[in-house]
Amino acid sequence: MSTRDTMELKEETIRAQYEAALGMVFGFDHAPRLAKPLVAAVVAERSPGVGTRPTFRSTIPGMATRTTARPGGVRLAERIEGLGDGLVSPVQAACLNALRRSLAIALAMGETFAAQSGLAELKKANLEGRVPEPKRAEFGELLQGEALVVLFTFGNALAYLIAPHVGPSTVELGEVEEVLTDNAPLALQGALWELDQDVGALATDDARLVAVVSGFAEALMKKVQIRAENGARVSVFTGSSWKVEADGLTIAGFKPAKAAKGGMIAMAFKKPHEVVGNHIAKYQSLRLSKMLMAYDFERRLNPFAELGGFIFTFMGDGKPGTGKTTLIQMMAGLLNDYCKVAGYPFRYQNFSIDQIDSYQGKSGQNAKAFIDAVLDPSVIGFGTIDDIDQVAGKRGDRQSSAGQQEVTAVFMQAFAGAGTVVRGNCTFGMFSNYPENVDDALRQRAGARFLVDGPQSEEDYIDILSLLLGKNHSIPVGDHELFAAQEIKKAVAASFEGHSKPHEEGLLKVWDKVSADIGKLDTLAKMGAYLKAIQAADERFTGRAIKNITDAVKVRAMDFELPDEWMAEPDLFLFKPYDEKLGMIRGLMTPISVEMVIQEINRYADSEFRYADKSDEVAIQGMVRDFGRTEEAKRRYLEGK
């Protein structure tokens, strides 16, 4: 597929359409031709002498069309405002603003299409009555094409702009019927008439209003996509793309833009005891969830971020089936529950392989929209990147697509770029079964490492068997206390102690040599010598690795879990002033010990050696296959001579 040239849809061009867009939102008359009315038109009740905005009247030729029903007033603004108790709510205002902005963008896009397709000249000639007979058919086809372009752009922009307000409410709209393609203004009037009908019939409150607007925009785009496939003159629109900088919206033919949706999330949440094994990963997830809740919306800063013990990015890796998805479900569930109690907005976003686009620049735009949605300082955010080895490409890897390379660049800049600001309201988790395939620099931007190794002990396997079997049986448990092995503090203490020595063979050799040369690592100088020896063994172990290790040590210095009652009763902690929360956290901190530093060095270095060994082995196997193919090709070539 060919790439597109992205142009800017200028803000002044859009704002020039605001008056016309506002006129359509406030009122016009429309007689439906294809759809049947669901509700009566809004009748404005005004005192004598009180003026109102003039209804929208188009002066574009072709608006005088045959109708099959009496015209009715379409007053979307009054329809939406009538849902409240006399005052416009923030949600209603957001919907009205999205409508005006979307209409203005659509009208601006229609003007751009007309100018580039030659329709503008034909319109001028039509006004003067001098359209040549051979051009009349083309004129009609271009008017139809403009109508489709404007309709789709309106639906696309509306779906994009309303997305952050979308919640759990859903409505059944059915197919959009009043799709008129005589010309662009009539097309928009038909769409707005049907939206007005849907709002009147289905929107009983703010939540359902947003659901109706969002659902209508999606349904309109689908209907127009189908109509556009029937050979309409829209090549000017499909061959290029336009960017609306103020909104971050990209218009790329009949392809919907993506925006982060807000509100509740549809996910099967898991409780901590349902995560079997993975003790350190589970413990860190529990603590991180409570850390996020310490965020101060007024100060827009988290005390943990100020103290240096906040996990902004982390990497969760392990074999398939070891519990990465379950860990995500547990953490998202905890945050969802905590935010419900505190009344905080919570936003969960996942970036996956289906957001890699073949159009140049679109994958990077999708990644940027994902990052911006999670970083939003007005919400508690949790962003996950599942199978990041497939989503983000290794730089220099010929197997990686241009879209994957764009995503890698966006993530690297966002996670540890010059403009990165860690407020402590959100965290990003990167998950992979094959972390060795992730770009080294991107992987090192993961400040913490969560080894998701699944059940390990006999007790773990008994617990997971009982958990997955459910309760529809009478099989006795036997000599075992269910889930006792999952007691977090006991299991975590044992897991941390296990890192007093390295696990990976390559790192263990470095450890043994350094220990033999300088003895026990009990001073900063000796630990520094150990770090240098690791770097000599693996040149990818850079200064960023040391920063990640020290950040992990600072997290260990806060080796406490905020009390559950602080989450259940927000007045005890969450709603206190920022400085008071900071003091309460400082009072719980513990001093950094030698053991903490050694364990975190080994934990991080183990993960890097594990990734490096696998990465090297994968590269070697690839070269062996290539050499084998080369030798076989030579043999066949010589035999054929």
Say whether both 154 and 290 belong to one domain: no
Residue 374 maps to a domain? yes
pLDDT for the residue numbered 66: 36
Say whether both 240 and 306 belong to one domain: no
CATH number at residue 451: 3.40.50.300
- In this prediction, residue 45 has a pLDDT band, given cuts at 50, 70 and 90, of very low
pLDDT for the residue numbered 369: 85
Say whether both 432 and 495 belong to one domain: yes
pLDDT digits (tens, 9 = 90+) for 568-596: 888 899 989 999 999 998 888 888 889 88
Query: Which has the closest alpha carbon to 27: 12, 13, 46?
Result: 46
Ranked by mean pLDDT, the top range of 20-29, 171-180, 439-448, 601-610 is 20-29
Q: Are 148 and 110 in contact (CB under 8 A)?
A: no
pLDDT digits (tens, 9 = 90+) for 464-513: 788 778 777 888 888 877 766 665 555 555 666 777 888 888 889 999 99
Q: Which residue has the higher pLDDT, 342 or 436?
A: 342
| CA 177 to centroid of chain Cα atoms | 32
Does the pLDDT value for residue 110 go beyond 90? Answer: yes
pLDDT digits (tens, 9 = 90+) for 173-186: 888 998 998 899 99
Q: Which residue has the higher pLDDT, 395 or 157?
A: 157
pLDDT digits (tens, 9 = 90+) for 70-106: 456 889 999 998 887 778 888 899 999 999 999 999 9
pLDDT for the residue numbered 612: 64
DSSP conformation class of 55: P
What is d(CA 174, CA 218) in angstroms, rounded to the nearest whole number? 11
Q: Are 76 and 196 in contact (CB under 8 A)?
A: yes
pLDDT for the residue numbered 499: 77
Query: Which has the closest alpha carbon to 315: 626, 617, 13, 608?
Result: 608
Say whether both 212 and 351 belong to one domain: no
Task: Please provide residue 448's backbone torsions phi and psi, each rounded to the nearest 5 degrees.
Answer: -130, 155
Does the pLDDT value for residue 3 go beyond 50? Answer: no
Residue 245 maps to a domain? yes
Instruction: Name the helix (H) or strand (E) containing 226.
Output: helix 206-228
Q: Which two tokens stand for residue 177?
A: 């019927």
What is d(CA 30, CA 68) in angstroms, rounded to the nearest whole number? 11
Q: Are 127 and 213 in contact (CB under 8 A)?
A: no
Please state the rounded mean pLDDT for residues 622-637: 83
What is d(CA 495, CA 478) in angstroms, rounded to the nearest whole number? 26
Is 633 in a helix, a strand, or coil?
helix
Q: Which residue has the higher pLDDT, 425 or 626?
A: 425
What is d(CA 241, CA 8) in angstroms, rounded to the nearest whole number? 8
Q: What is the mean pLDDT of the chain?
A: 81
pLDDT for the residue numbered 483: 67
Please state the rounded mean pLDDT for residues 383-396: 85
The backbone region for 357, taken as left when phi is positive above 0, alpha when psi lies in -120 to 50, beta otherwise, is beta
Domain that holds residue 591: 272-621
Say whether both 247 and 344 belong to one domain: no
pLDDT for the residue numbered 65: 39
pLDDT for the residue numbered 640: 78
Residue 51 maps to a domain? no
Task: Please provide residue 251's backbone torsions phi and psi, each rounded to the nearest 5 degrees.
Answer: -105, 110
Does the pLDDT value for residue 311 go beyond 90? Answer: no
Residue 42 maps to a domain? no
Residue 76 maps to a domain? no
Say whether both 234 and 299 belong to one domain: no
pLDDT for the residue numbered 260: 46
Residue 61 maps to a domain? no
Does the pLDDT value for residue 107 go beyond 90? Answer: yes
pLDDT for the residue numbered 618: 62
Q: Are 4 and 241 in contact (CB under 8 A)?
A: yes
- In this prediction, residue 55 has a pLDDT band, given cuts at 50, 70 and 90, of very low
Q: Which two tokens stand for residue 67?
A: 């109708």
What is d(CA 280, CA 291) in angstroms, rounded to the nearest whole number? 16
Q: Which two tokens stand for residue 565?
A: 């009652």
Say whether both 236 and 117 belong to one domain: yes
In this structure, are strands 28-30 and 72-74 parallel, antiparallel, or unpaired? antiparallel
Q: Are 451 and 281 in contact (CB under 8 A)?
A: yes
Say whether both 240 and 359 belong to one domain: no
- The domain tally of the chain equals 2
Say whether both 525 and 556 belong to one domain: yes
Residue 4 maps to a domain? no
Does the pLDDT value for residue 52 go beyond 80? Answer: no
Q: Which two tokens stand for residue 562?
A: 């905020």
pLDDT for the residue numbered 41: 63
Say whether both 422 and 499 belong to one domain: yes
Say whether both 213 and 293 belong to one domain: no
Percentage of the chain lying above the pLDDT 70 cut: 85
pLDDT digits (tens, 9 = 90+) for 63-80: 433 333 445 688 999 999
Say whether both 245 and 277 belong to one domain: no
Residue 129 maps to a domain? yes
- In this prediction, residue 240 has a pLDDT band, given cuts at 50, 70 and 90, of confident
| CA 21 to centroid of chain Cα atoms | 30
R_g of the chain, CA atoms, integer Å: 30
What is d(CA 157, CA 98) in angstroms, rounded to the nearest whole number? 8
What is d(CA 196, CA 56) in angstroms, rounded to the nearest whole number? 15
Does the pLDDT value for residue 405 go beyond 60? Answer: yes
pLDDT for the residue numbered 378: 81
Tally the residues of the chain.
641
Please state the rounded mean pLDDT for residues 249-272: 68
Q: What is the residue whose two structure tokens read 């949605």? A: 373
pLDDT digits (tens, 9 = 90+) for 510-542: 999 999 999 999 899 999 999 999 988 888 788
Please state the rounded mean pLDDT for residues 109-113: 93
